[in-house]
Amino acid sequence: MTWREFAAYVAGLPPHARVRTALNGGRPEPSVDQLILADLADLLQRLQWTLQAVNSEKGKAPKAPKPYPRQWLQPKPSKSTSPDRVARIEDARRRARERKSSLAG
């Protein structure tokens, strides 16, 4: 099996497959239904807002609607800001410097 065939096989897996979830940073990919429903919700909110804006008095237009939340677009929290992780990295760097200096000296 070539890499190209393998990539085509992975691309053909369903969105909820573990391989595709792992390639997407641990977040499951949205299904076609979820994408369509999110777009439909945005469309209906925008239509309702447009009708309210057109039929309201000047200067009293409603605020534009916020888009439907799409959890698949939100970035995952970064691990690099964790104080525990920073401390472990600094400790590992210190030990590496000590090993290097003991081997050199």
* CA-wise closest residue to 65 among 52, 56, 80: 52
Distance CA 28, CA 56 (A): 42
Q: What is the model's pLDDT at position 92?
A: 92
Tens of each residue's pLDDT in the chain, 105 residues: 899 998 899 889 888 888 888 888 888 888 889 999 999 999 999 999 999 999 988 888 899 999 999 887 876 666 566 788 888 889 999 999 999 888 886
Residue 1, exposed/middle/buried by CB under 10 A (0-12, 13-18, 19+)? exposed
Burial 49-84 (b: 16+ CB within 10 A, else e): eeeeeeeeeeeeeeeebeeeeeeeeeeeeeeeeeee
Alpha helices in 1-105 (DSSP H): 3-11, 18-23, 32-54, 83-104
Q: What is the model's pLDDT at position 29?
A: 85
Q: What is the model's pLDDT at position 78?
A: 63
Q: What is the model's pLDDT at position 75?
A: 67
Q: What is the model's pLDDT at position 80?
A: 62
Instruction: Assess contact for 45 and 65: CB atoms under 8 A.
Output: yes
Predicted model pTM: 0.56
Q: What is the model's pLDDT at position 11?
A: 86
